[in-house]
Amino acid sequence: MNDETNNQQNMPETLKNPIYTPAFLRKHIGDLVKVEFLIGTSLMEDRIGVLLEVGASYILLRSIQDNNLLYCDIYSIKFVTLSRQPFIYNPQQNFIPSNQPFIPPQSF
């Protein structure tokens, strides 16, 4: 049995079965996403970026605003918008000049 098959068997069900959020999101790694989080009982915050990684309790985004990595708690996610527009990700590219304000893409 090879290592990849062994890793799949040891992986939690929430990362394999698409009825769970982490497994569903894993199918969209590399996509541009807008993720909305509920903070406390009434504050909504959103982040836009490229989905890089999904774990059992977190997601990792590459911010399109400043190219930083964002480690996000999966349990506070309320909505995820998956971009249907073609998107080419280049980690060397600065997405937005630092002297201009961030304006979210019109596709959301």
CATH of the domain at 52: 2.30.30.520
Tokens at 9, concatenated: 């068997």
- Decide if 96 is inside a domain: no
- Decide if 29 is inside a domain: yes
- Decide if 99 is inside a domain: no
Q: Does residue 48 carry a pLDDT above 80? A: yes
Regarding predicted confidence, which is higher, 78 or 65? 78
- Average pLDDT in the 73-79 region? 95
- Decide if 92 is inside a domain: no
CB 60 within 8 A of CB 25: no
- Decide if 102 is inside a domain: no
- Decide if 63 is inside a domain: yes
Give the C-alpha separation, 68 to 65, whole Å. Answer: 8
Give the C-alpha separation, 69 to 49, whole Å. Answer: 9
